[in-house]
């Protein structure tokens, strides 16, 4: 054995794909006899070194495919005869480490905010050679190889270099480019081979059920310019249309629309309906369509069936060009257990907690991110930044926040572990959410965070530096449950449930709220919105119209899941299009028109939006007329803007001469009537205007005797307003 020859044990480890430091053997190595190049190419018939001086055969020194030759001059290429083809390429093991010391330092600290452009697969040119740098965090693996369609999925071909200080493996593979399909092959700490793993930081994934990652020209996906910062969001009209991309509308042969096709149809629909934002159920790559995206594995990759990443980025840009904001549902709480995913990624509980009492979500059969680990927090923070910066999304709606905040969430008393103080609060998750809000505010000013949080946890929308979680808005799940429960009751019994419509105002200003009628209310046997309404068909439509108008005038930003605006009878099915044919029927078209008009009225009247989170923007006028199921309230805008009076009559009884207090006398215009004929109603009302007399009522200086149509909501504004 010469001085430069590797030890037989090292060769055996390399041949058996168990060597943890392949760069110590492969590539060029200096010795007393000069430079020797080694290449391990299983299956190659012959290999030659190609330099400017010519070609030199390499000697087979191990039958499994280890070749060796002295190098006369650099640089060199490897000419590989595979039998059916000859390949000429640079040697991956001739390239130096590419991740810089700053990258490694930030990764080790868990503060690398550009992790999506550091780890994963990134095409680049190194020393004049085009290829792809692969990098993967897997600190407990004994060996990691990148495998793909460029190396026959052979884990012996491209074992990677471990950067010990950060637990990151890397390799530059020359002459690989965008479109290549790849995964990672890992040996666990015991030396056992794991199932092939997809890249956690991949920017593109194969269409399920395939599970590979795809190399993307990440440098070509340029971050869009930041949008101008709007006024404080709580002072703006925000009306959100929640959409599942695969089932909003289907194309030919009942196929889901692509990102491009969706942009052609969805954007004009949303803007024509007056919505300010579209919110997509999670678009992050997920293995099972029936999860609707709420069990994602690709936290950096748009879901593949709808098109490549650049098309999704273009969809958001087109939304912005049309004046439509984009909200993305984002899931940092848990992930599915698929073998190719994050579960026991390097043979250990790397992304999840090791103890199932902390790491397994019993309701959803998923694994819970270990947010006490800095690298896991870094991974998720990097994902959030990726969607807001690289794709230009305007907001993230964070899913399942309640499940993150409490260690005993949906667990029996003996199936959870208290925090260090003996309490039930998940201190690590709380800290993560606070860090998330701080990072987004600093790195992505003007972008919003919205919490789906269903408990009374205090300070969800208080700034993190003031002890809150730092969200901009919180879904008001209590309001949704109470009001829907009320509306589902037969009107004859509503007098006993009056608080369902009024209780929300007790806490309406404790947080900055968004009122949601989301997808969760029209699945799993809950039926549709119109289907929840009591009575015959006429009453069902009237109830729905009155309820939507109540929602659009109540303090809080608005969110409606697709299909609610056309009064779809059928419960939502993620594999079917909405029932757009219903719009051929006047009653369904009437609900759609009502919602369009509500959006326009809401956006044009400061009284309905500017003080949504300020008690000065609301006053009860009729609070306790439960016997008639009537309620009325005033909405106020900033100084000088006209107020609006909202009156709801939630029984089918037409009430005439019903006196309601007003802040001043004169002519008040009936700006909206949910019973109007154009919406499918009976067209009862006040002839478009009322005269308020200087007759005090309900603690106000003036009042008017109104006609209240059955099952209706009216909006009155001063005539000059």
Nearest CA to 589 out of 467, 680, 522 is that of 680
Give whole-number Cα distances, 441 to 110, 274, 393, 432, in Å.
18, 28, 14, 14
The DSSP-derived string for 208-256 is: TT---EE---GGGSPPPPPPPP-S-GGGS--EEEEE-TTTSSB-GGGPB
Rounded-to-integer distance, Cα 566 and Cα 560, Å: 11
Residue 73: exposed, middle, or buried by beta-carbon count in 10 A (0-12, 13-18, 19+)?
exposed
Rounded-to-integer distance, Cα 695 and Cα 690, Å: 14
Tokens of 69: 């030759």
Number of residues in the chain? 721
The dihedral over CA atoms of 316, 307, 242, 360, expressed in degrees to the nearest 10, equals -120
> Under a CB-based contact definition with an 8 Å cutoff, are residues 567 and 580 in contact?
no
Nearest CA to 469 out of 509, 427, 502 is that of 427
Tokens of 640: 């000088």
> Under a CB-based contact definition with an 8 Å cutoff, are residues 394 and 447 in contact?
yes
Q: Angle at Cα 609 formed by Cα 564 and Cα 454, nearest 5°?
A: 60
114 given a catalytic annotation: no
Which residue is catalytic, options 103, 399, 435, 511? 399
Rounded-to-integer distance, Cα 689 and Cα 316, Å: 42
Rounded-to-integer distance, Cα 469 and Cα 233, Å: 17
Tokens of 597: 């008009």
Element (H, E) at 174: strand 168-174
Half-sphere exposure of 165 (CA within 13 A, CB side): 10
Under the phi-then-psi rule, with left for phi > 0, alpha for psi from -120 to 50, and beta for the rest, what region is 507?
alpha
Q: Phi/psi at 279 (nearest 5 deg)?
A: -115, 125
Give the list of residues 6+ apart from residue 545 with CB closer than 8 angstroms, or none. 590, 591, 594, 674, 675, 679, 680, 681, 711, 712, 713
Rounded-to-integer distance, Cα 26 and Cα 68, Å: 9
Which residue is catalytic, options 242, 352, 452, 675? 452
> Under a CB-based contact definition with an 8 Å cutoff, are residues 291 and 246 in contact?
no
Rounded-to-integer distance, Cα 641 and Cα 650, Å: 29
> Under a CB-based contact definition with an 8 Å cutoff, are residues 161 and 22 in contact?
yes
**Three-state secondary structure call for residue 548:** helix
252 given a catalytic annotation: no
**Helices 537-553, 477-488: inter-axial angle, 10-degree rounding:** 150
Tokens of 112: 């690398």
**Residues with catalytic function:** 399, 452
């Amino acid at each position: 054995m010469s001085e430069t020859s590797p030890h037989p044990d090292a060769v055996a480890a390399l041949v058996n794909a168990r060597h943890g430091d392949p760069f110590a053997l492969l590539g060029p190595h200096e010795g007393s006899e000069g430079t020797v190049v080694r290449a391990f190419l299983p299956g190659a018939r012959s290999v030659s070194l190609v330099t400017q001086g010519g070609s030199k055969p390499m000697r087979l020194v191990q039958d499994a495919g280890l070749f060796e030759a002295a190098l006369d001059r650099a640089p060199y290429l490897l000419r590989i005869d595979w039998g059916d083809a000859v390949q000429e390429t640079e040697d991956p093991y001739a390239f130096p480490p590419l991740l810089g010391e700053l990258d490694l330092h930030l990764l080790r600290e868990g503060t690398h905010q550009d992790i999506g452009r550091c780890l994963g697969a990134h095409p680049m040119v190194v020393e004049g050679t085009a290829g792809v740098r692969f990098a993967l965090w897997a600190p407990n693996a004994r060996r990691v190889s990148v495998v793909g369609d460029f190396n026959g999925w052979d884990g012996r071909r491209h074992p990677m270099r471990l950067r010990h200080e950060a637990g990151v493996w890397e390799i530059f593979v020359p002459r690989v480019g965008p479109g290549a399909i790849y995964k990672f092959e890992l040996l666990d700490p015991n030396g056992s081979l794991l199932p092939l793993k997809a890249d956690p930081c991949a920017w593109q994934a194969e269409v399920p059920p395939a599970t590979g990652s795809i190399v993307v020209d990440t440098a070509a996906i340029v971050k869009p310019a930041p949008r101008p910062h709007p006024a404080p969001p709580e002072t703006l009209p925000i009306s959100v249309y929640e959409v599942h991309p695969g089932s909003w509308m289907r194309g030919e042969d009942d196929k889901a629309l692509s990102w491009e096709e969706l942009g052609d149809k969805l954007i004009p629909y949303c803007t024509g309906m007056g919505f300010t934002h579209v919110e997509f159920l999670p678009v992050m790559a997920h293995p099972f369509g029936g999860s609707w995206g709420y069990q994602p594995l690709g936290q950096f990759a748009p879901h593949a069936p709808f098109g490549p990443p650049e098309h999704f980025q273009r969809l958001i840009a087109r939304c912005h060009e049309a004046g439509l904001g984009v909200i993305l549902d984002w899931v940092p709480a848990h992930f599915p257990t698929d073998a190719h995913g994050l579960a026991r990624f390097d043979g250990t509980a790397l992304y999840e907690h090791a103890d199932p009492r902390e790491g397994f979500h019993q309701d959803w059969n998923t694994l819970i991110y270990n947010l006490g680990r800095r690298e896991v927090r870094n991974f998720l923070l990097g994902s959030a930044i990726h969607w807001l910066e690289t794709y230009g999304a305007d907001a993230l709606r964070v899913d399942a926040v309640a499940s993150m905040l409490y260690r005993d969430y949906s667990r029996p008393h003996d199936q959870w572990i208290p925090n260090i103080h003996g309490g039930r609060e998940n201190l690590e998750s709380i800290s993560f959410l606070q860090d998330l809000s701080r990072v987004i505010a600093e790195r992505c000013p003007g972008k919003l965070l919205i919490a789906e949080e269903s408990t009374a946890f205090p300070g969800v929308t208080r700034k993190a530096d003031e002890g809150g979680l730092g969200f901009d808005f919180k879904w008001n799940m209590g309001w949704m449950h109470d009001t829907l429960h009320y509306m589902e009751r037969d009107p004859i019994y509503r007098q006993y449930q009056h608080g369902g419509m009024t209780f929300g105002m007790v806490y309406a200003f404790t947080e900055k709220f968004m009122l949601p009628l989301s997808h969760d209310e029209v699945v799993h046997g809950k039926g549709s919105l119109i289907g929840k309404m009591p009575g015959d068909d006429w009453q069902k439509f009237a109830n729905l119209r009155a309820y939507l108008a109540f929602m659009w005038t109540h303090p809080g930003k608005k969110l409606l899941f697709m299909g609610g605006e056309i009064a779809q009878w059928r419960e939502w099915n993620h594999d079917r299009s909405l029932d757009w044919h219903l719009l051929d029927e006047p009653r369904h078209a009437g609900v759609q028109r009502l919602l369009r008009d509500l959006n326009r009225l809401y956006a044009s009247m400061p009284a309905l939006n500017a003080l949504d989170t300020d008690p000065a923007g609301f006053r009860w006028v009729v609070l306790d007329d439960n016997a008639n199921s009537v309620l009325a309230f005033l909405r106020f805008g900033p100084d000088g803007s006209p107020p609006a009076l909202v009156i709801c009559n939630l029984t089918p009884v037409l009430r005439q001469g019903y006196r309601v207090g007003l802040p001043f006398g004169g002519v008040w215009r009936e700006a909206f009537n949910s019973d109007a004929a154009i919406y499918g109603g009976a067209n009862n009302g006040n002839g478009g205007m009322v005269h308020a007399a200087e007759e005090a009522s309900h603690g106000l200086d003036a009042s008017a005797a109104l006609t209240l149509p059955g099952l209706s909501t009216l909006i009155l504004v001063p005539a000059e307003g």
